[in-house]
A = this chain, B = another copy of it.
Amino acid sequence: MDTTGALSTVNIGDFTTEAGATIENVVIAYQAWGEFRGDNVILIEHALTGDSDAADWWCGVLGPGLALDTDRFCVVCTNVLGGCKGSTGPSTPDRNGVALGSRFPAISIRDQVAAERIFIEKLGIERVHAVIGGSMGGARTLEWALMFPELVDAILVLAVSARASAWQIGIQTAQISAIERDPNWNNGDYYGATPPTDGLAAARRIAHLTYRGELEIDERFGTQAQAGENPLGPYRDSHQRFAVQSYLDYQGVKLTERFDAGSYVALTEALNRHDIGRGRGGLNKALASCMVPAMVAGVDTDILYPYHQQEHLSRNLGNLLAMAKISSPVGHDAFLTEVRQMDRIIRHFLSLAQGGPDEAVEIVL
């Protein structure tokens, strides 16, 4: 295993999805930091448009002496199956050099975890001390504990739910639809031609409004006009914008410069299929059966995964270590941005995971 933090890949062979489609020659990309000592692996699960470079997107908590202490732990982060940052996804060429596109099947969160499980085996990792993730990464973290409890010492689940809610499926489908309605989408087979950037930007604009707190966005932008533009003119003009429109346009365009629309659709679809209860006798029975020690945290202003969903997890998980509320105007993204609180949560979790108090506690941040 390369633990220098460099991007590496592992071929895990052909992979058959939960729904029965096979992807040939699947590659999983990863980065790792800190010496591997057998029992000191922490697996980090990134969010929808994240990647394996957790030392970058979680730089405040990952590094020597930080909460995810690379002097103590071997921290591993893969790019998710279906992604576009080194692991196999819709943009990956087949053996003839043609991108998979629409031939890349629908995947579930369980498929992502099953692929990662093969990956760690290939890497010689026999046991994972902790799996930690937020949002889509939190969904994967939960599935790790349900699918492979014998391999995981403890999990830290952030800003996610036990299954997709109908509201989430609705808003996620609106994003998929924005991409599908782009004339360049071509049913997902646009590689080598013009990509559906307008559609992807439109999807991201919608998504971003669920990633940020309503009051935080309002405090920053209110009804201000974008500098040099007049959104109150006599005729509507999409180039004469409110500041918040410009901000969302920027967020949309920025994503199109670093992310593939096909991966966005594949991973959003995986989120639609997220359901801990499927085939396990229902949601609460599945959660109750989960004996891997678990800590759950959520954000008080989260629009996408409202805090009551993390309360539901904490009430029903079979072996709860602790529950924490991240207090922030930022909304869903707070698990990425509120570094001080995340530092406390992760340190507390790792202490409990190594044999802290027996009873579930609510920590004060």
A positions within 8 Å CB-CB of B: 17, 19-21, 102, 105-106, 108, 163-167, 169-171, 173-174, 176-178, 180-183, 198-199, 202, 205-206, 208-209, 214-215, 217-218, 220-223, 231-236, 238, 242-245, 248, 265-266, 269, 272-273, 275, 278, 303, 306, 308
Contacts and interface: CB of A to CB of B under 8 A. Distances in A.
B217 A105 contact: no
Contacts of A275: 223
A209 B171 contact: yes
B166 A222 contact: yes
B165 A205 contact: no
A236 B262 CA distance: 12
Contacts of A21: 234-235
Contact of A306 (B167, B214, B232): B214
A329 to B, nearest CB: 12
Contacts of A173: 205, 242, 245, 248
Q: Copy number of this protein in the oligomer?
A: 2
Q: For A17, A231, A308, which residue has the most chain B Cβ atoms within 10 angstroms?
A: A231
A178 B174 CA distance: 10
Nearest to A238: B180
Q: For A171, A177, A183, which residue has the most chain B Cβ atoms within 10 angstroms?
A: A177
A38 to B, nearest CB: 38
Given A108-B232, A169-B244, 7 more contacts: A19-B233, A106-B232, A166-B242, A223-B278, A231-B273, A236-B265, A236-B269
Given A173-B248, A178-B202, A202-B174, A167 B235 contact: no
A214 B308 CA distance: 11
* Chain A contact surface mostly: helix
Contacts of A273: 231-232
Contact of A105 (B106, B167, B235): B235
15 contacts: A105-B234, A106-B236, A108-B232, A165-B222, A166-B218, A166-B243, A167-B209, A169-B244, A170-B209, A171-B206, A174-B202, A174-B205, A181-B182, A181-B199, A231-B272
A222 B309 CA distance: 13
Q: For A20, A170, A173, which residue has the most chain B Cβ atoms within 10 angstroms?
A: A170
Contacts of A198: 181
Contacts of A308: 215
The 3 closest A-B pairs by CB, nearest first: A21-B234, A166-B244, A166-B221
